[in-house]
């Protein structure tokens, strides 16, 4: 199935003129870095490129075709010279008040892509600078990359409320480099459900998130520690656990760690471009050092001791067990050392350093999408 980038023209590939009508070479200014990064997208990524643009009243006295086509053809040729070739170009010529089915955000121009098994619209994107482009993505069942130079552009032509459009926006930016990196790296998300006679676990992970979390395990201090992973690792993490806490905490903590490790392994996928290794972190009286290697083999070195049996309602003996179980699930080497006098600080420093180590290890470089291994596999 083919993925498609439906790309707007004005405000996206070229800057929007002050009068919103590009009908002369004097008004033509290319969007900064559009040539460089759209060329990289065309040459490196597997997207079919399709231009979709509204040109209000094209062919009427207010927007004559003889002044439109010279600049338009120049734009097309300039991008072709950089290796950016559009598989199709769709231009709607109607005015907004006509409510034509062919005018964005309606899909009348794009019927050949709808319900077509050759196209993967769910993993396709509409790239543009207006809310009409975002709603077009919604109407196609795709996601939007919103070049947000003016929040209100297109607001009078959309049927959806803004809060209904927000979930459609996969990326909001004004920078073509950011767009390229987003498409090159793709989102690394995974979900896992693990149900046994002792626990019922749901975990959703986005390695490239912003630190949002929703943690509910029934053990407040454990929730607090898992939240550290999301916040300091800058990943989005949802963990919902129902365990046999009437027995004790063991099964809930162990099974959560196993499932969490497995969802990391799933989200990392082929591991191309990751740094692989990664942190030393002070916290008041404590110093914690955590190193991790997502190299495909499980191992844990644990060099710390606790003088208290419990922190909150969590047994301190279970911290070792948590990281051992995560190592098994993620197939990762983990080396943990911590020293200090305050047990709460000590374990919190470990979890924060663990999060930072993960953040370093899973970071990717778009210019070096290679496997960090001499073995040829991880």
Q: How far, CA to CA in Å, does 178 sit from each of 88, 173, 174, 318?
A: 25, 7, 8, 41
Check 10, 129, 236, 293 and give the catalytic one. 10
Distance between CA atoms of 300 and 292, rounded to whole angstroms?
9
3-state secondary structure of 293: strand
223 classed as catalytic: no
Closest CA to 233 of 358, 376, 72: 358
Nearest to residue 188, comparing CAs of 303, 89, 265? Answer: 265
Whether 8 is catalytic: yes
Distances, alpha carbon 317 to alpha carbons 132, 217, 304, 372, in Å: 55, 18, 11, 34
Distance in angstroms (rounded) separating the CA atoms of residues 6 and 144: 9
φ and ψ at 301, to 5 degrees?
-110, 125
Sheet holding 199-206, edge to edge: 189-195, 199-206, 236-243, 213-216
Residue 185, burial from CB neighbour count under 10 angstroms (0-12, 13-18, 19+): middle
Instruction: Give the Cβ contact number of residue 307 at 10 Å.
Output: 8
Residue in 8, 23, 223, 255 annotated catalytic? 8
Q: Tell me if residue 92 falls in helix, strand or coil.
A: strand
* DSSP for 230-275, written as a single string: HHHHT-EEEEEEEE-TTT-SHHHHHHHHHHHHHHHHHHHTT-TTB-
Give which of 247, 194, 239, 191 is closest to 217, Cα–Cα. 239
Return the H-helix or E-strand segment holding 78: helix 65-80
CA distance 314 to 164: 41
Whether the link from the prior residue into 361 is cis, omega within 30° of 0, is no
Q: Are 125 and 149 in contact (CB under 8 A)?
A: no
Active site residues: 8, 10
């Amino acid at each position: 199935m083919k993925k498609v980038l439906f790309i707007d023209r004005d405000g996206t590939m070229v800057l929007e003129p002050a009068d919103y009508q590009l009908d002369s070479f004097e008004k033509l200014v290319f969007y900064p870095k559009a040539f460089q990064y759209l060329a990289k997208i065309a040459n490196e990524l597997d997207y079919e490129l399709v231009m979709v643009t509204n040109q209000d009243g094209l062919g009427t006295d207010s927007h004559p075709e003889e002044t439109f086509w010279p600049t338009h053809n120049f734009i097309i040729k300039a991008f072709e010279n950089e290796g950016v070739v559009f598989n199709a170009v769709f231009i709607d010529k109607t005015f907004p008040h006509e409510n034509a089915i062919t005018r964005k955000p309606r899909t009348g121009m794009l019927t050949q892509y709808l319900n077509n098994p050759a196209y993967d619209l769910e993993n396709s994107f509409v790239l543009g600078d207006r809310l009409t482009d975002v709603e077009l993505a919604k109407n196609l069942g795709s996601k939007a990359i919103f070049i947000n130079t003016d929040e209100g552009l297109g607001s009078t032509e959309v049927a959806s409320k803004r809060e209904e459009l927000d979930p459609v926006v996969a990326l909001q930016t004004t920078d073509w480099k950011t767009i390229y990196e987003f498409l090159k790296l793709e989102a690394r998300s995974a979900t896992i459900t693990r149900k046994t006679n002792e626990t019922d676990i749901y975990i959703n992970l986005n390695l490239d998130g912003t630190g949002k979390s929703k943690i509910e395990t029934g053990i407040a201090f454990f929730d607090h520690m898992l939240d550290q992973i999301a916040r300091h690792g800058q990943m989005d993490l949802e963990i919902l656990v129902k365990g046999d806490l009437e027995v004790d905490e063991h099964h809930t903590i162990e099974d959560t760690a196993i499932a969490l490790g497995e969802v990391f392994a799933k989200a990392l996928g082929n591991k191309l471009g990751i740094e692989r290794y990664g942190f030393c972190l002070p916290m008041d009286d404590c110093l914690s050092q955590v190193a991790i290697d997502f190299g495909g083999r499980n191992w844990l070195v644990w060099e710390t001791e606790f003088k208290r049996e419990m922190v909150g309602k969590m047994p301190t003996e279970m911290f070792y067990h948590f990281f051992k179980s995560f190592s098994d699930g993620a197939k990762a080497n983990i080396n943990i050392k911590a020293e200090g006098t305050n047990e709460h600080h000590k374990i919190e420093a470990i979890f924060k350093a663990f999060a930072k180590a993960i953040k370093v290890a899973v970071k990717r470089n778009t210019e070096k999408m290679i496997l960090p291994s001499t073995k040829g596999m991880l």
